[in-house]
Amino acid sequence: MKLLAGNSNRTLAEAVASHLDLPLTRAQVKRFSDNEIFVAIEENVRGEDIFVIQSTSYPANDNLMELLICIDALKRASARRITAVMPYFGYARQDRKTGGRTPISAKLVANLITRAGADRVLTMDLHSGQIQGFFDIPTDNLVSAPLMAGDIKRHYEKTEDLLIVSPDVGGVVRALALASRLNAELAIVDKRRSGPGKSEVANIIGDVEGRRLILFDDIVDSAGTLCNAAQSLIDAGAVEVSAYVTHGVLSGAAYDRVQNSVLKELVITDSIEATTQVAGASKIRMVSCAALIGEAVRRIANEESVSKLFD
């Protein structure tokens, strides 16, 4: 088994390699002067089981092309099996037609990865589970609930009075998985979208008055929806509101919104490499998913059950 890292998240790739006690495969992944991507694998990979670690986070298109070219280079070097390890799967929010003449970009990306030569995909907390069906190759979707539940238990003396909150109806199953691990109750924020990245809280389902709340979601991008939900929960009588989110995209003015919000803290994983600003934020904390991904990689390489990770 060999590990190859793209440039999207070298820190996470090195942490996964450390967990597996393996060196990263020597390779050049660089740019020509016109920004075209060049990849050269600098060691023999013939007949090897290769795992390419690359999130398609910002800049999404560059990182996606990097992944595709890495897969092509490995295929042409006669690798036995290529697994695309994508801690964060970009374009996942475009998983259906939302109106006339709009694309299903998640399916397009799945096709590109498959056609490039990947034999398997390993990712974490897909925006919607049906994206696994977009691939015609085996796809493992890790869940962060065990990771987040462990962090909550370490940072909260009492979990009995916690209330897990789904920020929208679509995330209820995800939030319920976390609530069941903590033996906590569940509430739901009923939000209405007025446009891409814009939403309004219409209703809160559940009694939040006097409770400590944890919002649980898969992606925080502009953080507008998250901060609006937190403010609505405080207005409804909540004592404090924290947020646990798997993928910290945090684009645009997200950093300032979080810092100036009523959120006690925002906890994210390192599926996306943090900027210097985010890494130094007083309200943002990061939990490593390297051990989870590393263990999944080991199990896939050894032909063992990945689902046992979530028992």
Task: Write out pLDDT tens, residues 5-34.
Answer: 999 999 999 999 999 999 999 999 999 999
pLDDT at 193: 65
Query: Residue 179: which of 198, 204, 206, 202 has the closest Cα?
Result: 206
Is the pLDDT assigned to residue 311 strictly greater than 80?
no
Contacts of 157 (CB under 8 A, 6+ apart): none
Whether 305 contacts 140, CB under 8 Å: no
| pLDDT(170) > 90 | no
Residue 216 has pLDDT above 90, yes or no: yes
Q: Does domain 145-288 have CATH number 3.40.50.1820?
A: no
Q: Which residue has the tokens 């950093």?
A: 255
Q: What is the pLDDT of residues 99-125, one digit of tens each?
A: 899 999 999 999 999 999 999 999 999
What pLDDT shows up at residue 169?
85
Q: Does the pLDDT of residue 199 top 70, yes or no?
A: no
Reported as half-sphere exposure (CB side, CA atoms, 13 A), residue 284 has a value of 27
Alpha carbons 265 and 206: distance in angstroms, whole number: 22
- Per-residue confidence (pLDDT) for residue 158, from 0 to 100: 80
197 pLDDT more than 60:
no
Q: From the candidates 191, 198, 264, 308, which is the catalytic residue? A: 191
Is 2-142+291-310 assigned to CATH 3.30.56.10? Answer: no
Q: Which alpha helices (H) appear in the chain, and where do they start and end?
A: 10-20, 60-76, 105-116, 145-155, 172-182, 224-235, 254-259, 276-279, 290-301
Average pLDDT for 83-103? 95
Q: What is the mean pLDDT of residues 41-53?
A: 98
Count the residues in the chain: 311
CB 28 within 8 A of CB 39: yes
Work out the angle at residue 141's Cα, subtended by the Cα atoms of residues 253 and 172, and round it to the nearest 5 degrees. Answer: 65
> Could you tell me where in the chain the CATH 3.40.50.2020 domains are found?
2-142+291-310, 145-288
Average pLDDT rounded to a whole number, residues 282-306? 97
Q: What is the pLDDT of residue 191?
A: 74
Please give the distance of CA 133 from its chain centroid, rounded to a whole number.
18
**Cis geometry, peptide bond prior to residue 196 (ω within 30 degrees of 0):** no
**Could you give the CA distance from residue 72 to residue 151 in angstroms, rounded to a whole number?**
38
Examine the residue annotation and report whether 191 is marked as an active-site residue of this protein: yes
Read off the pLDDT of each residue in 276-298 and give the average, rounded to a whole number: 96
pTM score, whole prediction = 0.94
